[in-house]
Structure 1
Amino acid sequence: MTNTNENKPFYYSLSNDRQEDEKLLEPIRYYLQVPGKQTTMKFAHAFNYWLKISPDKIQAINEIVTMLCTSYVMIDDIQDNSILRRGIPVAHSVYGIASSLNAAISIFFIALERIVNLHPAATKVYMEQMLEIFRGQGIEIFWRDNFICPSEADYNTMAKKKIGGFFNMIVKLMKLFSTYEEDLSPLNAILSLHFQIRDDYGNLNSNKYTKNKSYCDDLSEGKFSFPIVHALTTNPDDKQIIYILRQRTKDIEVKQHCIELLEKYDSFKYTKSVLEDLDIKARTEIKRLGGNPLLINVLDELKKWDYWD
């Protein structure tokens, strides 16, 4: 990683001219210059309480996963026809779909360049987890585009692939340099499910979230988010929500009506109870693994979101 003249992080190919990279990867820089939640870095350092790998390896792994996350959300914004990302217009609305896609795909291979040089076994980890991530993303899109409401169990499987792929990649890459032998995959499954449901809840029920995204944009995307899945599976005779999703509406009044239906069916109440249960399960698993104050601090930070109040 190097710094640009603006002192912002940027990622260059190991095999290409940097001046050309500056032009081709400008959509990536656009997202990197906006302060993010740095979730991957927080979790890498928290997991290192157990794994105890060197700072330079943590840095290298964090850069790789940050690159992948940035590329992933750029593609996700295109697939979802999103409007905002972290409070700014999405990259493809500024640079166009073609340039944004090319930059995002290029970063996947720039990350692979680093993976190859990281450890002999790192490429296998990269391929396995990236496939899981896009399988999770793919099935979510399949449900959306074919108007198929998943069961809660199917939703959970999707989340553990889509978000769990990133958590597992961090841990499995770190484990290549660690003597730690405990299996962290059950904890990662809990955390990934918590993150996906939390994001769904926040999109539809958090004023804090909507400062950085358009109002309830999951409804405009026709997404079968967790509160929607609960409402549809527990009230199959009410067709209003499914029809609203089909419309991909941007109408505020229609979205507000859908939110009222979710409140009527206690879908937000149920979602919050699931989040609270996952928080307890995560803390229990951390305790079983011997405790980790850094990871507990991250969980405590997550509970400060306004929809927990």
Structure 2
Amino acid sequence: MNQKVEIQLFAKKLAKYKKLIDADIELYSKNIQRSTLSNYGAYSRVATDAFIDILKRGGKRIRGSLVITGYEMMGGENRKMIVQASRAIEMIHAYILIMDDIQDNSLVRRGGPTAHVALADYHRKHYLSGDSEHFGISQALNAMGIGNHASQVIVLNLDVDEELRIKASSILNQSIVTTAHGQTNDIMNEVNSDVQMKDIDNVLEWKTAYYTFLNPLTFGMVLAGADCRATDAVRDYCLSAGRAFQITDDILGIFGSEFESGKSPMDDIKEGKKTLLSLYALQNTDKADKNFLIQMLGNKDLTMSEFERCRDIIVDSGSLEYAKREATRCIEYAKNSIRKQTIDWNREGVDFLVGLADTLVDRRA
């Protein structure tokens, strides 16, 4: 099967999964909003609505789709249950997005205000007493807690054997612990002047590869009864695809379109993010450009002309081309690792994973 056909089949399957997941989330959202108002009142509804807004606000549903893919690869047949499990993963994704936006001090998420910004606006519009920004962050933290723990309730009530529920829940939560360590290291990298490529690699693996690929895929596989041999077989694919995904994300973060990505291309420089792009540029440019880039990383008052010079440094140092080559290398490794497996998997699932890998470098958002 050629690459074009693989991508077309993947896109068709992803659209099908997204439709299922979105419909389930829409119904769940109405129920949880109604029960929140009935059981806890209008104040709690404010935080719940903020969480639901992020949960429902677009997205490709890649993580939820990987849950279904992992389950069906192993021969799972309970579609209703696995869509509910996908919802739980997407809820965890929304919870992590809210946390990430607070920590990055981001204003925009998927074309709209971030949760803490929207809640601060709520405070201002209703002329409430106190500090609007503090209120927004505080209530966003509550929204995170509500969404995260509601997702755990879903997992613990899935229609599968108790042993599988416990095993899946354990894998899920351990992966989130790893993701939290990845986020911790990412933030430390921002304030550390002596960041090495190994520090970047740790974040690529712990924060992105586990969270976006390994966690949802193995979660779905375990719910279908997969053993360690089966889940270990997808590890190389997930870690390599996750690395490619994040490298591409970092490229889009600086060189992508704000309209398509839903965030300003200046954000990563303003936040001082240490990525493969920025570190390679620092290691492979002249002293003047290196000093300039160091000064601009973390500069909240970054101007457009300064930002454009930063981009020029990244390009001229060879960093952009290096990052693209590395992402492509990781994708080829991921595809080969999944194709060579001898485990009796559902072929459509394998094709989905190969197609997903093919789309990573060329994505626009």
Shorter-chain TM band: 0.7 to 0.9
Q: Secondary structure at the match of 1:150?
A: coil
Q: Is the 8 A contact 1:210 1:216 kept in 2?
A: no
Pairing of 1:221-236 with structure 2 (within 5 A): 221-235=271-285
Query: Which amino acid is the alignment partner of residue 71 of structure 1?
Result: Y
Give the direction of change, closer, same or farther, for the CA distance of 1:128–1:47 in structure 2 (3 Å limit).
same
Aligned with residue 200 of structure 1, among 230, 247, 250: 250
Residue 39 of structure 1, CA deviation: 1.2
Cα distance in 2 between the residues matched to 1:274 and 1:18: 49
The unaligned stretches of length 5 or more in structure 1 are none
Return closer, same or farther for 1:211/1:126 CA change in 2, 3 Å cut-off. closer
Corresponding position of 2:167 = 121
Structure 1 contact 249–255 (Cα < 8 Å) conserved: no
* Mapped pair 1:301 → 2:359: yes
Instruction: Map 1:57-68 onto structure 2 (within 5 A).
Output: 57-68=81-92
Q: Which residue of 2 aligns with 1:142?
A: 188
- Whole-angstrom CA distance in 1 between matches of 2:364 and 2:47: 39
For residues 71-105 of structure 1, give each alpha carbon's deviation from its aligned partner in whole angstroms, at most 9, with x where no partner exists.
10111011101121111121211101111111012
Extract unaligned runs of 5+ from structure 2: 1-20, 120-135, 159-164
Q: Could you say if the C-alpha distance between residues 148 and 10 of structure 1 is closer, same or farther in structure 2, counting changes exceeding 3 Å?
A: farther
Q: Which amino acid aligns with 1:255?
A: F
Structure 1 residues 2 and 282 mapped into 2: Cα distance closer, same or farther (>3 Å)? Answer: closer
1:74 aligns with 2:98: yes
Given that residues 41 and 62 in structure 1 are in contact (C-alpha distance below 8 angstroms), is that contact kept between their aligned partners in structure 2?
Answer: yes
Distance in 2 of aligned mates of 1:120 and 1:12: 26
- CA shift in 2, pair 1:51/1:161, >3 Å: same
Contact in 2 for aligned 1:283/1:296 (Cα 8 Å):
yes
Q: Within 1, Cα distance between the matches of 2:272 and 2:168?
A: 36
Aligned counterpart, 2:146: 106
Q: Is the 8 A contact 1:31 1:91 kept in 2?
A: yes
Q: Give the one of 227, 250, 255 matched to 2:302.
A: 250
Q: 1:157 to 1:134 in 2, by over 3 A?
A: same
CA contact (8 A) 2:112 2:262 kept: yes
**Structure of greater relative contact order (alpha carbons < 8 Å, 6+ residues apart):** 2
CA shift digits 1:33-84 (9 cap, x unpaired): 3221211133233334522223233212211110010010111011101121
Question: Which structure features the higher share of helix residues?
Answer: 2
Counterpart CA distance in 1 for 2:104 and 2:217 is 29
Aligned-pair identity (%): 19
User: Which piece of structure 1 moves more, 266-275 or 56-65?
Assistant: 56-65
- Pair 1:266-2:318 in alignment: yes
- In 2, Cα distance between equivalents of 1:225 and 1:305: 19
Q: How many residues align?
A: 304
Deviation at 1:297, TM superposition (A): 2.2
Question: Which one of 66, 91, 94 corresponds to residue 118 of structure 2?
Answer: 94
Say yes or no: does 1:153 pair with 2:193. no
TM-score by length of 1: 0.88
- Counterpart Cα distance in 1 of 2:31 and 2:180: 24
Per-residue deviation, residues 238-283 of structure 1 (Å, max 9, x unmatched): 2211111142333111111111111110110110011111111111
> In structure 1, how many angstroms separate the alpha carbons of the residues matched to 2:364 and 2:96?
26
Q: Which residue of 1 aligns with 2:4?
A: none
Q: Is the alpha carbon distance of 1:48 and 1:102 closer, same or farther for their aligned partners in structure 2, counting shifts above 3 Å?
A: same
| Structure of higher CA gyration radius | 2
193, 196, 209: which one pairs with 1:164? 209
Of 25, 49, 57, 1:26 maps to 49
Check whether the contact 1:136–1:161 (CA below 8 A) recurs between aligned residues: yes
Task: From the superposition, tell whether residues 99 and 260 of structure 1 become closer, same or farther in structure 2 (CA, over 3 Å).
Answer: same
